[in-house]
Amino acid sequence: MKILLAVDGSLFTQKMLAYLTTHPELFGPHNQFMVFTAVAALPPRARAAVGHDVANGYYEEEAAKVDGPVLAYLASNGIRPEVKHQVGPAGELIAKAATDGSFDLVLMGSHGHGALGNLVLGSVATQVLAHCKVPVLLVR
């Protein structure tokens, strides 16, 4: 099975990873994984002020802050995923990546860093559910 792991470094990402690694019968290393991180875009004026190279460096650093601990945790559990990040609105990018990449499943936490905004279900999770044509498993 081809599984997209949508991560943002939040507590719910950690819970999703714990769920993934404690269910090897479903999510063991026999599957193909991709860790996907959506990085929020800088405002256009800020991007223009700092320049293309500095902005791209910032995006790389922000993605690495999230991906580093995730990749270390997965490696300690025998999982070596592909890694991808994109800049823009998280919900739309996750849904598009899942569809375009022909994934069988999206696995993500039910909330991210903005969990106070939507107490029942995070706004990114809501957007993914609304736009994704691939089954989504939310871990709470």
Query: What is the distance between the alpha carbons of residues 86 and 59, in angstroms, rounded to a whole number?
Result: 9
Radius of gyration of the chain (CA): 15
Which residue in the block uniquely carries the two structure tokens 């269910």?
Answer: 23
Query: Does the domain made of 8-139 have the CATH classification 3.40.50.360?
Result: no
pLDDT at 122 over 90: no
pLDDT given for residue 119 in this prediction: 46
pLDDT at 112 over 90: no
pLDDT tens-digit readout, 29-83: 899 999 999 999 999 999 999 999 999 999 999 999 999 999 999 999 999 999 9
Are 39 and 59 in contact by the 8 Å Cβ rule? The answer is yes
Query: Could you tell me if residue 102 is left (phi over 0), alpha (psi between -120 and 50 degrees) or otherwise beta?
Result: left
Q: Where are the domains of the chain?
A: 8-139
**What is the band of 121 on the pLDDT scale with cuts at 50, 70, 90?**
low
CB crowding 113-128: b at 16 or more within 10 Å, else e: eebeeeeeebebbebb
Query: What is the distance between the alpha carbons of residues 116 and 34, in angstroms, rounded to a whole number?
Result: 28
pLDDT tens-digit readout, 85-100: 999 999 999 999 999 9
pLDDT given for residue 50 in this prediction: 94
pLDDT at 109 over 50: yes
Q: What φ, ψ does residue 85 adopt, rounded to 5°? A: -135, 150
